[in-house]
Every structure is written in structure tokens, then in C-alpha cells.
Chain A
Amino acid sequence: MYNSLKENIATLKQLFKSSADFTVREMDLKGKCSIKSAIITIEGMCGKDVLALSVINPLLDYHFDCASSDEIFDTIKNTVLTSSEIVEFTTIDEAISFSTSGFAVLMVDGCSRMLAIGAQGFSFRSVSEPESEVVQRGCREGFTEPLRINMTLIRRRIKSPDLVFETITSGYSSNTQMMICYLQNSVSKQILKTIRKRLENCNLKMILASGYLSEYLEDNSSKSLFSGVGISERPDTVCGKLSEGRVAILIDGTPSVIIIPHLFVEEFQSVDDYSNRPYYAAFIRILKYISFFIAVFLPGIYTAFAQFHPEYFPTGLLVKTSDSLSQTPLPVTLEVILITFIYEVMREAGLRIPKPLGHAVSIVGALVIGESAVSAGIISSSTLMVVATAAICSYVTSALYPPIMVLRFFCVLAGGMFGLWGIVLLTCGVLVNMCSKTSVGVPYMSSLAPFSWRSMRDVFVRAGWKSLSKHTIKVQKFPETEEM
């Protein structure tokens, strides 16, 4: 920074390319000699009322007895300003970073130091229940876009000095602020070091969502359909994961928090499991596992049986299935792929379509596919039932929807081309891929393979809290964890 106020303002104006939202409020401070000061803000980022009350009014009302600019600066910082967050800095880059983060930047003529005053007032979405992770008995709060609010949501639930937030900035154009969050007494130092290194090696231009970072955080050996990085919008879920030694990464501008390491069995766990009775939680968990298998394998197995192994159908079902399949023009493999494709198109359309038109999509889907296509003999009712059942089951574990969709497609192809043994071979290949995958060195299939009796208390069933609390699970203690 320069000592001259005019030069500082001119430099910043030039850097911001005289952007329309770059505002400068110049003031003459009252005192023995007239000293000029200026406040730099970005339009819409600062709260005007907060700025006026805690910065401008106190500055204009105060009478400065000091002679030098530095003394005036110190007086402003220590005595005049009523804001609770004040940071002193000296570089142009910091001035840009603070002003674009909603801080008001104060400069005094003749002084090369500047102050960043916390006066954020930009608009943001209020804390509400996340739509992607709905629970029955958990809290109704979810993360929002501003980073500080998300930090508060976590801090309110873990009132411990062991909870640490580390700031990191990434994205050479967006300069997105992120927080690495962990519990000091639980986290693995090795995992933390690896995560820091991977985030530093991230050379993206802009980071606009958590998914941008996923590829940088996953292990190199992980070319897999399944993600080694977990995402959550719930603060209670994140706090639970932190207590198991995991690391959370909060990104400014997105409500999705990254949790790493992430394991396969976690896709079937939810906050409700720990609030409900153990027997009910076990029932729901087993239901989720069964639903996952139905979602992936049912269309493929149906195709394989219909095409190659009709003798595997029960007799009554065989008669009905062959009757309905004989009336359709397409082979059963193509029929299943066609219905699956139409379903995916309708699902995607339902996601993107404006809400007023949403009803039209459901009517078209029900009438066109459900009624007309079957009546016209283009598709068979049994095939439609199978695909619909698989589709419904895939929403039980919605976080796994992308791999389920892709695996289902390949299962149908394998079953249609080779039969049941083709599906078994495909499954073996996928299992090898999953069993060789790691998440920051922790085996992705931990608890199942490598098998651990102790972890089984919280995999297919949920043991009671008295039992669970006896041994705390730490993710770095899973067997065969590699050092990265």
C-alpha cells in the first residue's frame, strides 16, 4: 500500500476496472489538522446501516488530537470504531480479498496500513431444512451458502476447544474461501496432512461447488463409480463424522460440506438411525441394503431370466411374463433399456422443469408410459413393473443414485447378452474395483472387507448407545489403512 490516499484509491479503482459496484466514501476527519480518510466497499456486500452506525458516524463525530497519520490510524482502530471485527493489513491483495468478502476497508491519508471492518450485509438464504437429506427426528437446520454461518452451526453443536477451523483459499480467479474443520483430539495427523496437500495442489480457476474438489481429494488409484468423498448438508451429520476422526471441508458459496474419508457403509446410515430404537434402525438399514441390490440387479436379472433362463421363473410368473413379452415388438433387453432411458429423461425433466409445469410432466409420464405404451403393445407391463420397482428402490439410498444408474444399465446389458453368469462376472469386477478403492488410505469397503466384528455393531444393525459408546470408532484405526 502507498502512504497517499489518492494513490491507494486510484490503484484499487484500476484493479477493479472501475467496476460499477466499487464504491468509495471519502471523509474529512475532525481534528487539529484536516486528515482525509476513505472507506472502500463493494455495493451490496456491506450492510449500510451497520456501516453507518459502527464506522461512519463514530469517525465523523470524533475529534482527533493526534498530529501524525499513524497516531490517527491507531486511535481509529483502538478507540473510535465500535465494530467487533477489525483486522489490520498492509497489502493490496488483502484489500481486494477483504472488500470482496463483504468487509469495509478503511484507509487514512499518510498511513500505509489499512483496516478491514466486519460489516457484511449481503443477502443470503436463511437456515432451513435441507431438501436432499430429510429426516424424521433430527434437527431441521441445514447449511447455507455463507461460510461463517456454517461454521456457527457446527460450533453450536461442538462446544469444545478441540474443534478447529483452518482457513484456506483456492481457485486462482474466484479466490474461494474454504475451512478445513476437524477435532484436534480425534483426527489423524497423517490424513489431515494429506488433505491439506491435496487442496494446495488444486489448480482450478474457479470453485463454485463442492463437486469441483472431489477429484482432487480422492486417491489416485480410485477410478471408480463410487465416490471416496462424502457430501452432507446437515450440521448434525457433519459433527457426528468429525467425532470419528474425519475432516470436513466447508466451502464459501455452497451448502454442501465435504467429509473425508468416506466409506461405502456410510451411504446406508442416517441420523434417524441413532434417534430411533435399535430394532427399527436395524430393520431400516437392512431394508436399504436390500433396496440397493434390487435397484442395481433386478432389471438385469429379469432380462437374463427372460432371455436365457426362463426355467428360473416360478411357473405362474413364467406364464404371465411370457404372455406379456410375446405381445411386444422389441427384445426384452431393448425394452428394459428403452423404459429405463425414458424414466431417466422424465426424472431429469422433473428436476429442471419450472414448478408450475411439474404437473404436466407427471401426467405425461403416467399416461404416456404407464397407460398408452402398454395398451399399444410397445412395452410390456411386467417390464414396466420391474423398472419402476428398481427406480423406487434407488431413491432409498439417493446418495448412491449415480452409481446405481450406471451399474443397472451395465447389468441389463450383461444379462441381456450373456445371461446370469454375465451379471455375476460384472459383479465380481465391480467388487474388485470397490475392494481396491481407498479414501485417503482407508479401505473404502472397511467394516465389510476388511471385515471387522467390532464395526458390525453399526453396519447392518445399530447397537444400543450403551454398547456403541464403549468403543469409539476412529476412521484411521480401521485395519489395513495405508499411509499416503
Chain B
Amino acid sequence: MQSNVTFPSKRLMLSLFVCSVMPVMLMGHSFLQSDNIFSSLVSIGFGIIFMLLCFVPFYSIKHRSRLDFSAFAKNTSQTGFLFVSAYYCMYFTVITVSFLIRFCDMFVSGVNPSANTKVIAFLILCVCVYGASKGINPLSRVSIFVFAFLIIAFAVIFFGNIKSFEFAPNSTFLTPDFSNIQSNVADCLIFAFLPVVFGFNSTSTKNLSVKQPVIITLVIFGTLALTLFFTDFVTGAYSVQQPFSVHLLSRTAYFGDMKGFDSFYLAAVTACVFVFATAVLISVSNCIVNTSSKRTLLFVAIIALIMFVLFVCADSYSAVKELLLNNIFLTVLNFISALLIPGIYIFIYRRKLYD
């Protein structure tokens, strides 16, 4: 059973940052595919604005009613909440499976080609079910340890490649070119699942201020920009042929005779996937049951089973996999989940919110 002790919002923001590192570490060679800094910066700028916009509805609900979105929706309309909770269960399932597929693809392509991805996904979901049964407070505490390890891992990977860093831009680097904006922006907008996770877990938090979502958004995209920039000028043209640029970066890191620190990368990305999947499962359980319910574990296990079934479908049918990996599709879902539905709720029930 989960406890009802409140914890600082800063720790929830830390958990969101840890979740955001996962897509950064799993970014493929086609992520922000552009040799043009202006295009990249514009895309990142769009990502920042969109994510901040997505925080607004959930922040307003928490600030006014001291509740997260699911509790607010339950209080306003039981019938409407049935449909809304069904939609969000579907949304969280899609998001989780999408990133699980990326993780498994990275594992198969870079670690062990003979690995059984179904076993990987099943085990990750099993451990995440256990984590989700404990609640968001213990997960936020675990995020402290994962964050500390991420700092070490990034320090090793970055400083291990510092000698290979060459700022040698090509001729188009500084010339404004916005031809790839559409796909590049979609790559940045996938981070908008983070405000939704925040929106479903903010009840137990305290001391929320307006600068916290702003700071965390800037930090997330700052990390993304730094990683992209560094990767581009270390691995250069070689990374175009390789998927998962940060994995490549970890393999090229060296300190004297000590080479190849991809174990740090594998450990870091696994921990981030765990935190992400557990946070999403907790969000789903908040949709369905009360946090103090003894049946939380059962419902979370059922949702995890549905996620696994979707993963198996994606693994077996390439069309499903392509859809789940399509960043534009995920962006549309993020827009509906983070802006449209909460926005409609705030508009319709604004009196309840402001009373």
C-alpha cells in the first residue's frame, strides 16, 4: 500500500528529468537530422514552448485545487472521467511501449543481437509493476540515486570523448536553413509526455512554484542540445551510419588505456527506462484506483500485461511498430493528452476550479 506523505515538488521534477534523459540517450541517427544550427535551435525552441504550454493546464489545476488532474476530473464528473481515464490508459500504454521498443532496438543493435526483446520487455514491466505498487514518493527517492549515477555516466562519456571533440562545422552549419523543421520539431515535441506524468502525480507534492516547470523544461532541452552538439562534433559523419548516437559516444570514450564505457551507458539507460515506465504505471494506477487501495498492484499488473501484449504486436507487425515509433503520431497524442483534454476540463469546470 502506498503512503500518503507529501514530498517536495522539486523531487517530482527530478523524476521527470530522469525520465527525459531516456529519449535523449535513445535518440537515433535521424533525430534532429540537420547540419544547420538554426534549424536545430528553432526546433528546440518549439519544443520548449510546447512543453511549457503543456504544463499550464496541470499547473493551474494543482495550484487552484491542490489536486492532480485525475482527482480533479473524478470530482467534477464521474461519467466523463470514465471516458477520460480510458483514453489516458491507452495514451500511457502507447507512450510506454513506444519507448520500450526504442530501448529494445538499441539493445539488439548495440549490445546483444541475439537477445529476445520480449523477455527484455516482460522483465522491465515486471519490475516496474512492483515499483508502481509503492507509489510516486518512493520512485522520486529512487530518482535521486539514478540522477547521481547519470551525472557520473555523462561525465565519463563526455570527458572520455573530449579529446576527440573537433569544432569543424561544414559550410551549411551557420547558414539559415529551415527545410527540415517539420520532422525536427516532431522530434522535440515527444518530450511533452512529461507534463502529463506530472499532471497525474502532483497530488502528493508540496511547495510547487511556477519556476519549477520552467527550470526543468530549460534543463531538459539544454541537456538535449548539449548532447546533440557534442555528439555531432565528436562522431561527425560516422554517426550518420550508426543508430543511437549516445551509445556510439560511450563506445568511443577513453581515458588513457581505459577504453569503452558503454557499460555506463547501458546501466544509465536501463535505470532511466525503469523510472519512466514506473512513473507511467503510477499515473495509470492514479487514473483507475485510489492510491491507498490494496488492489493497486492487481490493476497495475493488468495494465502492464496490456502493454506487453501491445509490445508483442509491435514486435511481430512492422506496421504497428512504425506507428508507435512515429514522432508525429506521438506529438498528436501529446497534444490531445496534455493540452486538449485538460483545457476542455478547465474551460467547462472553471467555476469549480476557481471556487
Interface residues of A (CB under 8 A from B): 221, 305, 308-309, 311-312, 314, 418-422, 424-429, 431-433, 435-436, 438, 443, 445, 448-451, 480, 482
CB within 8 A of A424: which of B11, B134, B271? B271
CA distance A482 to B2 in the complex (A): 12
B139 close to A (CB within 8 Å) = yes
**14 other A-B residue contacts (CB within 8 Å) besides A449-B144, A480-B6:** A311-B260, A421-B120, A421-B266, A424-B271, A425-B127, A428-B274, A432-B134, A432-B138, A432-B142, A436-B137, A448-B145, A450-B11, A480-B7, A480-B137
B134, A431: Cβ atoms under 8 Å? no
B271, A435: Cβ atoms under 8 Å? no
CB within 8 A of A308: which of B112, B131, B135, B262? B112
B5, A480: Cβ atoms under 8 Å? yes
Which among A221, A438, A451 has the highest number of chain B CB atoms within 10 Å?
A451
CA distance A427 to B274 in the complex (A): 11
A449, B3: Cβ atoms under 8 Å? no
CA distance A312 to B1 in the complex (A): 40
**Interface bits B231-266 vs A (CB < 8 Å: 1, else 0):** 000000000000000000000000001101011001
CB within 8 A of B5: which of A312, A448, A482? A482
Chain B positions within 8 Å of A309 at CB level: 111, 263
**Interface bits B264-286 vs A (CB < 8 Å: 1, else 0):** 00110011001100100000000
Within 8 A of A (CB), among B1-45: 1, 3, 5-7, 11
Chain B positions within 8 Å of A426 at CB level: 127
Chain A positions within 8 Å of B7 at CB level: 450, 480
A312, B263: Cβ atoms under 8 Å? yes
> Which 4 A-B pairs have CB atoms at the shortest separation, nearest pair first?
A449-B141, A435-B141, A436-B138, A436-B134
B141, A445: Cβ atoms under 8 Å? yes
CB within 8 A of B130: which of A312, A432, A450, A482? A432
B299 close to A (CB within 8 Å) = no
CB within 8 A of A420: which of B1, B6, B263? B263
B108 close to A (CB within 8 Å) = no
B124 close to A (CB within 8 Å) = yes
A425, B270: Cβ atoms under 8 Å? yes
Chain A positions within 8 Å of B5 at CB level: 480, 482
Looking at chain A's contact residues, is the secondary structure mostly helix, strand, loop, or mixed?
Answer: helix
CA distance A424 to B5 in the complex (A): 28
CA distance A164 to B71 in the complex (A): 47
Which B-chain residue is minimally distant from A449 (CB atoms)?
A: B141
B46 close to A (CB within 8 Å) = no
Looking at the assembled complex, report how far the CB atom of A118 sits from the nearest CB atom of chain B, in whole angstroms. Answer: 48
CB within 8 A of A421: which of B131, B134, B257, B270? B270
Looking at the assembled complex, report how far the CB atom of A276 sits from the nearest CB atom of chain B, in whole angstroms. Answer: 27
CA distance A482 to B5 in the complex (A): 7
A431, B145: Cβ atoms under 8 Å? yes
CA distance A309 to B119 in the complex (A): 18
B123 close to A (CB within 8 Å) = yes
CA distance A422 to B124 in the complex (A): 9
CB within 8 A of A432: which of B120, B131, B266? B131
Which among B7, B11, B141, B258 has the highest number of chain A CB atoms within 10 Å?
B141
CA distance A448 to B278 in the complex (A): 21
Chain A positions within 8 Å of B123 at CB level: 418, 422, 425
B165 close to A (CB within 8 Å) = no
B107 close to A (CB within 8 Å) = yes
Chain A positions within 8 Å of B127 at CB level: 425-426, 428-429
Chain B positions within 8 Å of A221 at CB level: 1, 3
Which A-chain residue is minimally distant from B119 (CB atoms)?
A: A418
Looking at the assembled complex, report how far the CB atom of B47 sits from the nearest CB atom of chain A, in whole angstroms. Answer: 28
CA distance A420 to B268 in the complex (A): 11
A-B contact pairs, 13 of them (CB 8 A): A311-B260, A420-B266, A421-B266, A427-B271, A428-B275, A432-B278, A435-B138, A435-B139, A436-B135, A449-B141, A449-B142, A450-B7, A482-B5
Task: With A308-B112, A419-B112 as known contacts, state yes or no: A425 contacts B274, CB within 8 Å.
Answer: yes
A314, B112: Cβ atoms under 8 Å? no
A312, B260: Cβ atoms under 8 Å? yes
Which among B6, B107, B271 has the highest number of chain A CB atoms within 10 Å?
B271
B260, A482: Cβ atoms under 8 Å? no
**Interface bits B141-184 vs A (CB < 8 Å: 1, else 0):** 11011100000000000000000000000000000000000000
CB within 8 A of B145: which of A312, A449, A480? A449
A435, B3: Cβ atoms under 8 Å? no
Chain B positions within 8 Å of A432 at CB level: 130-131, 134, 138-139, 142, 278
Which A-chain residue is minimally distant from B135 (CB atoms)?
A: A436
CA distance A71 to B127 in the complex (A): 76
Chain A positions within 8 Å of B274 at CB level: 424-425, 428
Looking at the assembled complex, report how far the CB atom of B126 sits from the nearest CB atom of chain A, in whole angstroms. Answer: 9
Chain A positions within 8 Å of B146 at CB level: 428
CA distance A311 to B146 in the complex (A): 24
Chain B positions within 8 Å of A419 at CB level: 111-112
CA distance A143 to B119 in the complex (A): 53
CA distance A445 to B270 in the complex (A): 22
Which B-chain residue is minimally distant from A428 (CB atoms)?
A: B274
Looking at the assembled complex, report how far the CB atom of B207 sits from the nearest CB atom of chain A, in whole angstroms. Answer: 11
Looking at the assembled complex, report how far the CB atom of B169 sits from the nearest CB atom of chain A, in whole angstroms. Answer: 33
CA distance A422 to B112 in the complex (A): 13
B131, A451: Cβ atoms under 8 Å? no
Chain A positions within 8 Å of B275 at CB level: 428
Chain A positions within 8 Å of B131 at CB level: 428-429, 432
Which A-chain residue is minimally distant from B130 (CB atoms)?
A: A429
CA distance A418 to B263 in the complex (A): 14
Chain A positions within 8 Å of B137 at CB level: 436, 480
CA distance A311 to B261 in the complex (A): 10
CA distance A444 to B327 in the complex (A): 41
Looking at the assembled complex, report how far the CB atom of A406 sits from the nearest CB atom of chain B, in whole angstroms. Answer: 17
B262, A312: Cβ atoms under 8 Å? yes
Chain B positions within 8 Å of A445 at CB level: 141
Chain B positions within 8 Å of A451 at CB level: 144
**Interface bits B111-134 vs A (CB < 8 Å: 1, else 0):** 110000001100110010011001
CB within 8 A of B124: which of A305, A311, A425, A435? A425
CA distance A311 to B111 in the complex (A): 10
B142, A435: Cβ atoms under 8 Å? yes
Chain B positions within 8 Å of A443 at CB level: 141
Looking at the assembled complex, report how far the CB atom of A395 sits from the nearest CB atom of chain B, in whole angstroms. Answer: 25
Chain A positions within 8 Å of B267 at CB level: 420-421, 424
Chain B positions within 8 Å of A311 at CB level: 260
Looking at the assembled complex, report how far the CB atom of B128 sits from the nearest CB atom of chain A, in whole angstroms. Answer: 9
Looking at the assembled complex, report how far the CB atom of A477 sits from the nearest CB atom of chain B, in whole angstroms. Answer: 14
Looking at the assembled complex, report how far the CB atom of A115 sits from the nearest CB atom of chain B, in whole angstroms. Answer: 52
CA distance A429 to B274 in the complex (A): 9
Chain A positions within 8 Å of B134 at CB level: 432-433, 435-436
Chain B positions within 8 Å of A314 at CB level: 257-258
Which among B5, B11, B127, B142 has the highest number of chain A CB atoms within 10 Å?
B142
Looking at the assembled complex, report how far the CB atom of A293 sits from the nearest CB atom of chain B, in whole angstroms. Answer: 12
A428, B142: Cβ atoms under 8 Å? yes
CA distance A311 to B259 in the complex (A): 10
CA distance A312 to B261 in the complex (A): 8
CA distance A420 to B110 in the complex (A): 14
Chain A positions within 8 Å of B120 at CB level: 421
